[in-house]
Structure 1
Amino acid sequence: MDLIPAPRSVASYGDQYLAVGEDTGIAAGAGTEDTARWLRATLGAATGFSFDARREGDDLVRLTVDDTLPTEGYRLSVTPRGVDLRGGSPAGVFWGAQTLRQLLGPDAFRRAPLPGRVWRLPLTDIEDGPRFGWRGAMLDVARHFMPKDGVLRFIDLLAAHKLNVFHFHLSDDQGWRVEIKRHPKLTEDGSWRTRTKYGHRASELWEDKPHGGFYTQDDIREIVAYAHARHIAVVPEIDIPGHSQAAIHAYPELGNTDVVDTAALPVWDTWGVNPNVLAPTETVLRFYEGVFEEILELFPSTFIHVGGDECPKDQWKASPTAQARIAELGLKDEDELQSWFIRHFDTWLSERGRRLVGWDEILEGGLAPGATVSSWRGYEGGITAARAGHDVVMCPLQQVYLDYRQSDGPDEPVPIAYVRTLEDVYRFEPVPPQLTADEARHVLGTQANLWTEVTENAQRVDYQAFPRLCAFGEVAWSELPEPGERDYADFERRMTAHYRRLDALGVDYRRPGGPLPWQQRPGVLGRPLEGPPPNA
């Protein structure tokens, strides 16, 4: 049946099938109404059938919440009498429905029926459930803005691969992407830049036209509701205290005004680590408390990401205001000043029933008591945090940075960093072997990250994400059949069928034989690095 991600157990019954046709209905039990609507919309579009709501008869897809099953687990039985889909929660039913769609064949992923298709389901019993509770993907919409329809499509692609966390990177030096009503200049001035570096920052090429865009608060509510109906949590990221030049451009008082003329700073038009960071003042704290108040109203997610990465301390070292703050608080150095900044918002979020999550630099200077760590610079940050009793999301750049190049061929578009092939991603193990069983319980799960400095549109996002996100989805969902290596040959065989699903969805993925002509970017300078990535 070539299912991706691979389920825990599958029993098949030879060449026996259940026909699906005009008379097939859906019986939705309590709590499964969203999944029933999704099935009618997606399968109805692909087949032309209505899948009317019915309670009686054999020709039914029965959806049931069964709390004897694991929370996100499901049991799917296809018999000659119909389909019985049970989940431990509404989410479990939905993940089972994703498997049901795959069983119908690649054309079930189309948006209109093709002539002459015969629809049938193989008779089977499937029991399944996820390995990790956090199965995430991050999309950076700050470097290159993704219009709302593209975001909704990306969410659908996450759902199709049983990923349940959408990490939404909404602010950076190159743009601010979410409307904040009390601070309107963030989007009026901070959401667009006058030009954009084309390629790596060493490239001589520029796209000499304005680039920008932002999501209104109603856009955000729509995105969150759309994801919620697909049992995906949207975790917003507002980056502090670094990666903040777009905000400083809009409100110069947020920067270190005693060191640099912040009023002259534009929204940044190139890439790299920016020296212009937020000032450690009460003005800045109150400003961002106001920002987060509106963020909390828009995003019901338990977790709120505050970035915390790549914050150069040079301006703080030169700033009398920052040095006075260090002395006032009795801090040792600028690392502890950043820790104080993060701890402030850890406390602030905890008081409102939320949890702070940040990149592993938040370990420097001391980790905030309630913080969860996104371990991106390798395994080390996650190991340190888990041993200290903090929860961790494993997303090491050496394995799951999807902006990294996929081969060392000369036709690979805008090659960045190390080669990370489909097989490399598939062999990623999120739980470091150095952790004890008790420490490993702090690994909430794993996440793949897609930064968009050189990924300028949805077509390029498709190319960088797929098919590697298919492999990552299996890493995040499927239990290892036994300790040790995964069976890549079997995955590669199943991908032969899955490529047809991606084709039906219109995904412009990287083909196994390399980029197609329109996927190449000849002459655009990247930043390839040689050899295996450190700590891979």
Structure 2
Amino acid sequence: MIPRPELLSDLSGSFELASGATVAGPFADAVRRALPLLDLRPGDSGEIEVRQDPALGEESYRLTTGSRGVEIVAGGAAGAFYAAQSLHQLLPDASYRFSDRASWRVPGVRIEDSPRFAWRGLHLDVARHFSTKREVLRLIDLMAAHKLNRLHLHLVDDQGWRVESKAYPLLQEVSSHRPRTAVNYYREPEAYEDIPHGGYYSLDDLAEIGAYARSRFVTVVPEIDVPGHASAILAAYPELGATGERYDVLDRWGISPAILSPLPPTIEFLTTVFDEIIGALGEVPFFHIGGDEVVLDHWAQSAEITAYRDSLGLATSPDLQAWFLRALADALAERGARTVVWDEAFVAGGLRQDTVVMPWRGMGVGRRAAAAGHDVVATPVFPLYFDYAEAASADEPMAIGDTTTMADVAAFDPAPADWTEEERARVMGVQAQLWTERVPDPRTVDYRLWPRSCALAEVAWAGSGGDGFDERLREHLGRLDAMGVEYRPPAGPRPWQRRRPHRPSGVKVTDVMARIDGMTHDAESTRPSV
């Protein structure tokens, strides 16, 4: 079973669960949503009985199966849903396929289970390469099957804007597409595929995604990354930039100097967009505003922005960046959303105390954020950037770098033992990132995410990749096959999965991590106070 439960005991007896069986009790609808292919029916009593135990946590459950049927005891609807996902994994792989089979044997077991972390996330970059609504809905189903519960959608970057705006329609008309896309290897001369790329979610699409995710106990975390990574925005509304210069939607990768102005019209623009996104999604407890990889040169060179900074009593451009992000976080708080940022925003200083920090540059900066009283979601490049290759081999499809294996993910500890108890308590959870510069289509998304996301699910739910994970994964691959997931086979890619071959760089990702973790320490020494 993946992720592994806290306690699983074999019992004598078994039960034949038929398609069309009845389910009764509180949270019966949650159980039915978890097992759609079994076509369960509601009833006053049933083969699956559900009860609530208020002493259990919202996501906790007990599952007992045997000759008398199935009993689920849950703390809340989410717990009942996850109990049903565990029940599903007791059935044959064929139960994950649509068929007219009448019944499946359920072995006798008792499971007692609850999650280690509240935030069990996947990040999908839809700005660099767009994922359609149907692909996002499918990903939500796969997340739910693995008890993952946070979908972080990176909705804007230099290479595209991906959500409709009624107030600023040029965002979808201009910013949602680019005429060509870079296809060169990392740090090699630029080469392009001259095929337009684009797409965006209508507000109706976003509403559907939000509702679908909630029905599967997944929270959508939208990200509008500011003030940097702004080329696509400034292609439509150059007046929102620091220079007024019009940019093109970027067709290459890397960091751009494009930056939004911190002046009041930009804040008005962003809060309007926030309102549209929040209104469409319906419930947005967390909203990500980025704050990473910001090039501040144009702010320092602008007389108008410098005068505005001075009027606020701020000394430097980094101080102004901290003020700008704080103003946006205050606006989101008024709308009921907690702000989430990448770790550069923490290093810049001035965050609201309730801001959640994602330390992508390493757990060292994550520990400093936790020590400062911020909740943290562990997101380090190693081993949680799934755009890195799974082997340093030319058989792999092109990736940004070498090598992050499934074993690396399974061995990751989001709350390290050498942290203090107070620091560990600040770790809300863990999240893997799939940046899509070199992930051009849904089949490659599958290849990059799975089965590494199985290891992520184990770490997020159980706290670590436990004993027997490799053996359990071998069994689990049959379920992925039945669900149509084009995962990376343990022996390496199939011929058609190789696409443009990877060129191993020889640079170890652990060396990269050591370098960028050192950069966060250097930045900390010059951190402004706001």
TM-score range, shorter chain: over 0.9
* CA distance in 2 between partners of 1:531 and 1:390 (Å): 27
Residue 34 (str. 1) matches residue 22 (str. 2): no
* CA distance in 2 between partners of 1:170 and 1:304 (Å): 11
For residue 260 of structure 2, give the secondary structure of its aligned residue in structure 1. coil
Give the C-alpha shift of residue 52 in structure 1: 2.6
Structure 1 443/419 Cα, relative in aligned 2: closer, same or farther at 3 Å?
same
* CA distance in 2 between partners of 1:387 and 1:214 (Å): 39
* CA distance in 2 between partners of 1:277 and 1:204 (Å): 23
Contact 1:32–1:64 (8 Å) recurs in 2: no
* CA distance in 2 between partners of 1:382 and 1:500 (Å): 37
Residue 340 (str. 1) matches residue 330 (str. 2): no
Deviates more, 1:104-113 or 1:452-461: 104-113
Give the C-alpha shift of residue 531 in structure 1: 6.1
* CA distance in 1 between partners of 2:340 and 2:243 (Å): 29
5+ residue gaps in structure 1?
Answer: 45-50, 481-485
Residue 10 (str. 1) matches residue 8 (str. 2): yes
Q: Which amino acid aligns with 1:65?
A: Q
1:285 to 227, 245, 267: 267
* CA distance in 2 between partners of 1:464 and 1:108 (Å): 25
For residue 348 of structure 2, give the secondary structure of its aligned residue in structure 1. coil
Contact 1:339–1:364 (8 Å) recurs in 2: no
| Cα distance per residue 1:355-378 (max 9 Å; x no partner) | 111101111331312311011110
- Which position in structure 2 is the counterpart of 1:53? 42
Give the C-alpha shift of residue 349 in structure 1: 1.4
* CA distance in 2 between partners of 1:203 and 1:230 (Å): 44
Structure 1 7/524 Cα, relative in aligned 2: closer, same or farther at 3 Å?
closer
Contact 2:396–2:502 (8 Å) recurs in 1: no
- Which position in structure 2 is the counterpart of 1:408? 392
| Cα distance per residue 1:314-351 (max 9 Å; x no partner) | 22222222322332222232211110110101111122
1:266 to 217, 238, 248: 248
- Which position in structure 1 is the counterpart of 2:484? 506
Give the C-alpha shift of residue 243 in structure 1: 1.0
Give the C-alpha shift of residue 191 in structure 1: 0.3
Moved over 4 A (4+): 523-528
Give the C-alpha shift of residue 242 in structure 1: 0.8
- Which position in structure 2 is the counterpart of 1:354? 337
* CA distance in 2 between partners of 1:459 and 1:272 (Å): 24
1:493 to 471, 476, 484: 471
* CA distance in 1 between partners of 2:322 and 2:355 (Å): 11
* CA distance in 2 between partners of 1:13 and 1:203 (Å): 62
- Which position in structure 1 is the counterpart of 2:526? none
- Which position in structure 1 is the counterpart of 2:211? 225
1:166 to 129, 147, 151: 151
Give the C-alpha shift of residue 112 in structure 1: 2.9
1:21 to 14, 18, 22: 18
Give the C-alpha shift of residue 241 in structure 1: 0.3
For residue 417 of structure 1, give the secondary structure of its aligned residue in structure 2. coil
- Which position in structure 2 is the counterpart of 1:47? none
Structure 2 length-normalised TM: 0.92
Contact 1:62–1:85 (8 Å) recurs in 2: yes
Give the C-alpha shift of residue 455 in structure 1: 0.3
* CA distance in 1 between partners of 2:312 and 2:41 (Å): 65
* CA distance in 1 between partners of 2:143 and 2:501 (Å): 32
Structure 1 225/528 Cα, relative in aligned 2: closer, same or farther at 3 Å?
farther
Give the C-alpha shift of residue 204 in structure 1: 4.3
Contact 1:387–1:435 (8 Å) recurs in 2: no
**Superposition pairs of residues 242-257 of structure 1, within 5 angstroms:** 242-257=228-243
Give the C-alpha shift of residue 424 in structure 1: 0.3
Contact 2:51–2:72 (8 Å) recurs in 1: yes
Contact 1:336–1:364 (8 Å) recurs in 2: no
Q: Which amino acid aligns with 1:91?
A: A
| Cα distance per residue 1:438-478 (max 9 Å; x no partner) | 22211111111110000011100000001100000000001
2:140 to 128, 152, 155: 155
Q: Which amino acid aligns with 2:115?
A: P
Contact 2:23–2:45 (8 Å) recurs in 1: no
1:468 to 452, 469, 481: 452
* CA distance in 1 between partners of 2:58 and 2:22 (Å): 26
Structure 1 527/305 Cα, relative in aligned 2: closer, same or farther at 3 Å?
farther
- Which position in structure 2 is the counterpart of 1:43? 38
For residue 330 of structure 1, give the secondary structure of its aligned residue in structure 2. coil
Residue 62 (str. 1) matches residue 46 (str. 2): no
* CA distance in 2 between partners of 1:529 and 1:113 (Å): 51
- Which position in structure 2 is the counterpart of 1:196? 181
- Which position in structure 2 is the counterpart of 1:297? 279
Q: Which amino acid aligns with 1:451?
A: W
* CA distance in 1 between partners of 2:215 and 2:64 (Å): 24
Residue 417 (str. 1) matches residue 395 (str. 2): no
* CA distance in 2 between partners of 1:119 and 1:417 (Å): 44
Q: Which amino acid aligns with 2:90?
A: L
Q: Which amino acid aligns with 2:193?
A: E
* CA distance in 1 between partners of 2:183 and 2:509 (Å): 25
Contact 1:18–1:122 (8 Å) recurs in 2: yes
* CA distance in 2 between partners of 1:136 and 1:523 (Å): 29
For residue 42 of structure 2, give the secondary structure of its aligned residue in structure 1. coil
For residue 492 of structure 1, give the secondary structure of its aligned residue in structure 2. helix
For residue 9 of structure 2, give the secondary structure of its aligned residue in structure 1. strand
**Superposition pairs of residues 100-249 of structure 1, within 5 angstroms:** 100-113=87-100, 119-200=104-185, 202=188, 204-249=190-235
5+ residue gaps in structure 2?
Answer: 518-530
Give the C-alpha shift of residue 311 in structure 1: 0.6
* CA distance in 2 between partners of 1:526 and 1:208 (Å): 26
* CA distance in 1 between partners of 2:370 and 2:461 (Å): 21
Deviates more, 1:367-376 or 1:320-329: 320-329
Give the C-alpha shift of residue 110 in structure 1: 1.2
Q: Which amino acid aligns with 1:498?
A: H
For residue 63 of structure 1, give the secondary structure of its aligned residue in structure 2. strand
Contact 1:416–1:526 (8 Å) recurs in 2: no
* CA distance in 1 between partners of 2:189 and 2:386 (Å): 21
For residue 134 of structure 2, give the secondary structure of its aligned residue in structure 1. helix
Structure 1 511/214 Cα, relative in aligned 2: closer, same or farther at 3 Å?
same
Deviates more, 1:309-318 or 1:494-503: 309-318
Deviates more, 1:322-331 or 1:336-345: 322-331
Contact 1:416–1:527 (8 Å) recurs in 2: no
* CA distance in 2 between partners of 1:413 and 1:295 (Å): 34
Contact 2:28–2:42 (8 Å) recurs in 1: no
* CA distance in 2 between partners of 1:505 and 1:248 (Å): 41
Give the C-alpha shift of residue 143 in structure 1: 0.4
Structure 1 56/72 Cα, relative in aligned 2: closer, same or farther at 3 Å?
closer
- Which position in structure 2 is the counterpart of 1:48? none
| Cα distance per residue 1:178-211 (max 9 Å; x no partner) | 1111001101110000111124453543221110
Give the C-alpha shift of residue 527 in structure 1: 6.1
* CA distance in 2 between partners of 1:246 and 1:479 (Å): 39
Structure 1 205/22 Cα, relative in aligned 2: closer, same or farther at 3 Å?
same
Deviates more, 1:196-205 or 1:85-94: 196-205
Q: Which amino acid aligns with 2:6?
A: R
